[in-house]
């Protein structure tokens, strides 16, 4: 983790930092290729190529939760309808603690990576 991203984690409650780090580790470990992370405004963007826009996953920390945004959310299979957002557009999912990172959320992130990697 580079220092810029390390500073991104500072200033949040400990529980929120733990959740952010768990999401970071999960997203960076996706797929066979290399995942790149960079900061855009208040979001940490995970992409399959350096500087890739819009990325396959975007993380926005809130005081007591973390919002995950999926730019290709309209193409992700979500049978439990846990993601929110307009049909065919960027969707989002709010996580409150590390227990919310269940296998279902992990599959959503995996699908997003697979779509981005092509």
The answer to whether 91 and 85 are in contact (CB under 8 A) is yes
Identify the CA nearest to 108 among candidates 84, 76, 86, 85. 76
pLDDT in tens, the chain (118 residues): 677 888 888 888 899 999 999 999 999 986 666 788 999 999 999 998 876 678 999 999 999 999 999 998 889 999 999 999 987 788 999 999 999 999 999 999 999 999 988 7
What is residue 30's predicted lDDT score, i.e. its pLDDT?
66
Considering only CA atoms, which of 30, 35, 57, 62 is closest in space to residue 44?
A: 57
Task: Tell me the CATH number at 83.
Answer: 3.90.1150
Q: How many domains does the chain have?
A: 1
Domain that holds residue 63: 3-117
SS3 47: strand
Q: What's the pLDDT at 32? A: 64
Supply the pLDDT for residue 49. 83
Residue entry with tokens 């220092």 = 3
This prediction's pTM:
0.88
Looking at residue 52, its pLDDT comes to 63
């Amino acid at each position: 983790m580079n220092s810029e991203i390390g500073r991104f984690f500072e200033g949040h409650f400990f529980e929120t930092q733990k959740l952010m780090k768990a999401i970071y580790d999960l997203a960076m470990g996706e797929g066979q290729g290399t995942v790149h992370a960079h900061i855009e405004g208040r979001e940490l963007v995970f992409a399959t190529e350096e500087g890739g826009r819009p990325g396959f996953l975007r993380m926005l920390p809130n005081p007591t939760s973390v919002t995950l945004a999926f730019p290709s959310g309209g193409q992700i299979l979500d049978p439990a309808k846990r993601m929110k957002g307009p049909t065919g557009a960027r969707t989002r999912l709010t996580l409150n603690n590390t227990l919310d990172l269940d296998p279902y959320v992990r599959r959503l992130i995996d699908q997003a990576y697979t779509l981005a990697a092509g």
